[in-house]
Amino acid sequence: MVIRRKPLIFIALFLLVLFLLPIFTFANDSLIGSVAPAFKVISGKKEVLASDDIKGKVAVLFYEAKSAIEQNRKLKTSLNVFYEGQPDSVKKDIVRIGVINCQGVFFRGAWEKGLRDNSLKEGIAIYGDWDGKMSAGYHIKEDTSNVIVIDRKGIIRYYASGKVEDRDISMIEELLESLGKEN
């Protein structure tokens, strides 16, 4: 009796991939409810923002590929309107952060200028993840928009990769409103 090893190996690998695919596809969901990983990012003005700097505040973080900046434009516009409608006492406790993966870029000066220009355009500070550590710690999906909400205690309360649906925009606003009221 001859046992063909190639088909058995192929089937085993196929089953392994089939089993592991959901784990990698939904890896971001596993971060919800956990302590946000430490990070350090640097703006185009060379200002450093570290995870310790946002403790005690509610953070809305967009980590995006340069090519995906427009993917969640509707959410960004809606959140800007929401933010502007809040009293100053709430605004001071909400941090809006944009992060672009700048790991391995050439012409760092040009990228820093782009971060400065886009910070002005977006009305929020946009930082670069120059060493890729934030991307790794947050299991960022590349070439897309990643949206993360972190509460005052440093717990990830919302995480999505890709286009956020309209129904989720209202849910995010409600989450931010409730987190803004917590002390």
Question: Quick one: pLDDT band at residue 38, thresholds 50, 70, 90?
Answer: very high
pLDDT of residue 146: 95
Per-residue pLDDT at 21: 38
Helix extents (H) in the chain: 5-25, 73-84, 88-91, 108-122, 133-137, 166-181
On whether the CB atoms of residues 150 and 138 are closer than 8 A, the answer is no
Higher pLDDT, 25 or 173: 173
pLDDT of residue 29: 62
Query: What is the pTM for the complete model shown?
Result: 0.80
Which domains does the chain show, CATH number per domain?
A: 32-181 (3.40.30.10)
Residue 140 has pLDDT above 50, yes or no: yes
Phi, psi for residue 41 in degrees, rounded to 5: -125, 160
Of the ranges 17-26, 138-147, 174-183, the best mean pLDDT one: 138-147
